[in-house]
Amino acid sequence: MSLLELVARADGRGLVASGLACLDRCLPMPGDGDDPEPLRLLWASCESGAEWAARLDGAHAALEDTAKADATGARVRALLGAAPRDLDAGPLRAWADACSLLALDVHGEFDFPAGGRDTSERCRAGEAAGAGPLVTGELRRQSRILEALDGADGAPGGGSGLRRALELSTEGRRVLRAVVSRRARGRSVTSP
């Protein structure tokens, strides 16, 4: 099943967790004094929806300095600001879709060969030929997260599905940060 099909069949909780996981993986390395996990409290809201709107505001505020210093951080913050305030699947589907594209675009920037929006769109439709390893891994991760959230604990978005989504997202964040860090080190070695 393609990623687009998985997004189309996900319920509100699955869409919230999937979108949040995509944004979580795109967060830049925290600076000194920054919260290393500014989206942590939002994860706690995924299962029941409790305090989702208030926690969205908190996460949005926590990323203010990051957004000023980092273009990707600004995109993450913008998507948090655009997140629906309730768990209705319709508006959440468009938001989760935008989060998915952001995550694939960010991975494509650091991939070899470098991907673009057209690559992300093709991959989400099920045509991953020509995508680099980072985009392919991110596509697979997004699919696995949505699959874990579909029917976990007998109910979509159940506790074990959320734990698995968080584990997969944390793993993906580590992979992307390692690539970004290696690339930065390579640039500093080649600089005069």
Is residue 192, in this structure, part of any structural domain at all?
Answer: no
Q: Any idea what DSSP says for residue 30? A: P
| Helices and strands: H and E segment counts in the chain | 10, 0
Measured distance CA(12)–CA(157) in Å, rounded = 8
Is residue 190, in this structure, part of any structural domain at all?
Answer: no
Q: Map tokens 């998985």 to a residue.
A: 6
pLDDT given for residue 184 in this prediction:
80
pLDDT given for residue 123 in this prediction:
84
- For the chain, what is the largest distance between any 2 Cα atoms, rounded to a whole number of angstroms? 58
Q: How many other CB atoms are found less than 10 A from the CB of residue 58?
A: 15
Is residue 186, in this structure, part of any structural domain at all?
Answer: no
pLDDT given for residue 121 in this prediction:
80
* Token pair of 43 as six digits: 């994860």
* Token pair of 163 as six digits: 């734990």
pLDDT given for residue 115 in this prediction:
58
**Beta-carbon contacts of residue 125 (< 8 Å; ≥ 6 apart):** 2, 3, 4
Is residue 81, in this structure, part of any structural domain at all?
Answer: yes
Domains contained in the chain, number: 1
Is residue 24, in this structure, part of any structural domain at all?
Answer: yes
Distances (CA, A) of 181 to 160, 173, 190: 31, 12, 14
pLDDT given for residue 94 in this prediction:
96
Can you give the pLDDT of all 192 residues of the chain as single tens digits? 899 999 999 998 899 999 999 999 999 888 777 788 889 889 888 878 889 999 999 998 888 888 788 899 899 999 999 999 988 899 999 999 999 999 999 999 888 766 556 678 888 888 877 788 999 999 999 999 999 998 654 444 457 889 999 999 999 999 999 998 888 887 665 555
Domain that holds residue 128: 3-180
pLDDT given for residue 151 in this prediction:
63
pLDDT digits (tens, 9 = 90+) for 42-70: 988 887 888 999 999 999 888 888 878 88
Phi, psi of 15 (to 5 degrees): -70, -40
Q: Any idea what DSSP says for residue 29? A: P
Concatenating the DSSP letter of every residue in 113-180 gives S---HHHHHHHHTT--TT--HHHHHHHHHHHHHHHHHSSGGGSTT-HHHHHHHHHHHHHHHHHHHHHH
Is residue 189, in this structure, part of any structural domain at all?
Answer: no
Contact 124, 2 (CB under 8 A): yes
Q: Map tokens 């948090």 to a residue.
A: 80
